[in-house]
């Protein structure tokens, strides 16, 4: 009896111990749940703290002056504050991000926080924006976008700036034409023309544009007539290339009167040459938007890979009798009062596997259909303000310089649909702003 009782007690004790061990193992999970919940609450609070700091910094003149320069900003400005060991409790603030669109009143901030406690990790991000334009968030041409939001010095002013830089190293003026598509294409302005004008039109956020003084042998053309060249760069993520699908875009004010002595030479806006060395192809661009002064027609042109040129021509005389933007004092162009009265017009071209569409002010003005093939593959970048023709002879008139103003020049790597063209036009002229919080 005693032996049986002993065995029974040992058996029961073993079972009981097994149950307790099992329960102990499961109960040990309880702190994990508590730790995670605690950490999540803490991360939430630290995230609010970090976002509050970001907003406060974005509204601090001292902070902006130190990190971003004195407002108003030129370009779309981004800044990231990275912290190495900014601990708050069990959380770490990794970084705060700031994006400003042209001035200090239009901004978006973001905070990135992570926390760790007893092997449990959580992460948290939050964002807040105040009057930040959609144009700055998306729908930006993804191959090339020259928004001209920075004052560019050219000609004598650039020479003067270079001289000052030579005298005072470190005083260099940033004279780059910024490609805000993200590809950072290199752009060169060939001009002895005016400095790029400070024109407060062309959209609520556009302060600058490029005056193109078309023609030749002018007083300002000591080193060549005004035009810009965007070099083709195959190393960028999205190079300029004319294939089966793409779009070209720009805003412009066209001087309808033309340059004295060169009236009928107007005017090339955007020109991607097919082969500028070929007599057969020099006037057949892979893609181009250009204006014909003599008959007041706008042209949207694509040359296909079989060298067939599709050309959409539409009447375009938007300024009527108010024709000239530049007045001329001998050969010196002077911007006149018409400039303020003339509205900006937008011009767009889309090509999708044989279908060419032209747009003026966001509205489709025509469609030309060719064979369902690719456009002529170009390897010469883009020329703005004149045709890229490299054959001998033909005089300067072959370049068909542009006379007027251009802004917001861009290229997409796909064919925008009608609503996107309209959206881009409206977005530039009247950028919709947004305020939002996401935490």
Using CB under 8 A, list all residues that contact another protein. 8, 12, 15-16, 19, 22-23, 26-27, 29-30, 33, 36-37, 39-40, 120-125, 134, 137-139, 423, 427, 434-439
Alpha-carbon span 307 to 302, nearest angstrom: 9
Please count the residues of the chain: 439
| Shortest CB 127 distance to another protein, Å | 8
Number of neighbours of residue 157 by Cβ within 10 angstroms:
16
Question: Which has the closest alpha carbon to 212: 144, 146, 259?
Answer: 259
If the CB atoms of residues 8 and 83 are measured against another protein, the closer one turns out to be: 8
In sequence order, what are the beta bridge partners of 358? 349, 366
DSSP string, 40-66: HHHHHHHHHHHHHHHHHHHT-HHHHHH
| Shortest CB 142 distance to another protein, Å | 14
| Shortest CB 34 distance to another protein, Å | 8
Strands 382-384 and 326-329: unpaired
| Shortest CB 122 distance to another protein, Å | 5
| Shortest CB 439 distance to another protein, Å | 7
CA distances to 60, 106, 252, 281 from 49, in Å: 16, 21, 46, 62
In sequence order, what are the beta bridge partners of 333? 328
CA distances to 116, 147, 190, 409, 415 from 385, in Å: 57, 15, 10, 11, 23
Question: Which has the closest alpha carbon to 51: 100, 110, 97?
Answer: 110
If the CB atoms of residues 126 and 209 are measured against another protein, the closer one turns out to be: 126
If the CB atoms of residues 74 and 422 are measured against another protein, the closer one turns out to be: 422
Beta-strand runs (E) in 218-337:
227-230, 245-254, 268-272, 287-292, 297-303, 309-315, 326-329, 332-335
Q: Dihedral sign, CA of 221, 226, 232, 236?
A: positive
| Shortest CB 421 distance to another protein, Å | 13
Query: Prior bond to 72 cis, omega within 30?
Result: yes
Alpha-carbon span 383 to 229, nearest angstrom: 5
| Shortest CB 386 distance to another protein, Å | 34
If the CB atoms of residues 396 and 434 are measured against another protein, the closer one turns out to be: 434
If the CB atoms of residues 117 and 195 are measured against another protein, the closer one turns out to be: 117
Q: Do the Cβ atoms of 101 and 107 come closer than 8 Å?
A: yes
If the CB atoms of residues 12 and 172 are measured against another protein, the closer one turns out to be: 12
| Shortest CB 58 distance to another protein, Å | 16
If the CB atoms of residues 76 and 388 are measured against another protein, the closer one turns out to be: 76
In sequence order, what are the beta bridge partners of 432? none
If the CB atoms of residues 260 and 423 are measured against another protein, the closer one turns out to be: 423
Q: Which residues contact 258 (CB under 8 A, 6 or more apart)?
A: 214, 264, 265, 266, 267, 293, 403
If the CB atoms of residues 40 and 236 are measured against another protein, the closer one turns out to be: 40
If the CB atoms of residues 22 and 397 are measured against another protein, the closer one turns out to be: 22
Number of neighbours of residue 370 by Cβ within 10 angstroms:
18
| Shortest CB 426 distance to another protein, Å | 11
| Shortest CB 123 distance to another protein, Å | 5
If the CB atoms of residues 120 and 209 are measured against another protein, the closer one turns out to be: 120
Alpha-carbon span 347 to 308, nearest angstrom: 23
| Shortest CB 69 distance to another protein, Å | 26
Q: Do the Cβ atoms of 115 and 39 come closer than 8 Å?
A: yes
């Amino acid at each position: 009896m005693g032996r049986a009782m002993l065995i029974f007690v040992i058996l029961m004790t073993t079972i009981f111990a097994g149950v307790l061990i099992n329960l102990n193992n499961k109960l040990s999970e309880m702190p994990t749940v508590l730790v995670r919940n605690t950490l999540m609450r803490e991360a939430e609070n630290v995230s609010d703290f970090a976002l509050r700091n970001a907003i406060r910094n974005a509204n601090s003149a001292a902070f902006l002056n130190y990190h971003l320069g004195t407002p108003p900003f030129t370009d779309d400005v981004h800044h990231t504050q990275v912290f190495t060991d900014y601990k708050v409790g069990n959380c770490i603030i990794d970084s705060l991000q700031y994006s400003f669109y042209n001035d200090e009143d239009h901004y978006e901030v973001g905070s990135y926080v992570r926390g760790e406690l007893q092997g449990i990790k959580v992460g948290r991000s939050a964002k807040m924006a105040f009057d930040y334009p959609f144009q700055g968030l998306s729908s930006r041409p993804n191959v090339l976008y020259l928004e001209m939001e920075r004052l560019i010095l050219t000609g004598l002013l650039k020479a003067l700036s270079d001289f000052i830089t030579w005298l005072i190293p470190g005083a260099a003026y940033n004279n780059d034409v910024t490609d805000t598509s993200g590809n950072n294409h290199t752009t060169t302005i060939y001009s002895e023309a005016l400095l790029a004008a400070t024109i407060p039109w062309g959209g609520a956020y556009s302060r600058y544009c490029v005056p193109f003084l078309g023609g030749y042998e002018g007083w300002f053309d000591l080193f060549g007539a005004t035009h810009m060249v965007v070099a083709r760069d195959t190393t960028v993520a999205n190079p300029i290339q004319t294939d089966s699908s793409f779009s070209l875009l720009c805003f412009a004010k066209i001087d309808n009167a033309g340059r004295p002595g060169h009236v009928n030479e107007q005017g090339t806006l955007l020109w991607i040459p097919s082969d500028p060395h070929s007599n057969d192809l020099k006037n057949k661009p892979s893609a181009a938007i250009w204006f014909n002064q003599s008959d007041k027609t706008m042209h949207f042109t694509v040359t296909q890979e079989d060298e067939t040129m599709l050309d959409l021509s539409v009447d375009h005389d938007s300024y009527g009798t108010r024709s000239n933007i530049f007045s001329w004092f001998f050969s010196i162009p002077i911007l006149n009062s018409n400039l303020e009265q003339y509205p900006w017009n937008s011009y767009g071209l889309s090509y999708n596997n044989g279908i060419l569409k032209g747009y003026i002010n966001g509205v489709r003005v025509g469609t030309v259909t060719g064979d369902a093939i690719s456009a002529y593959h170009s390897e010469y970048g883009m020329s703005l303000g004149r045709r890229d023709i490299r054959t001998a002879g033909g005089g300067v008139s072959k370049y068909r310089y542009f006379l007027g103003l251009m802004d917001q020049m861009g290229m997409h790597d796909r064919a925008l649909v009608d609503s996107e063209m309209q959206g881009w036009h409206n977005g530039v002229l009247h950028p919709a702003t947004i305020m939002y919080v996401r935490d």
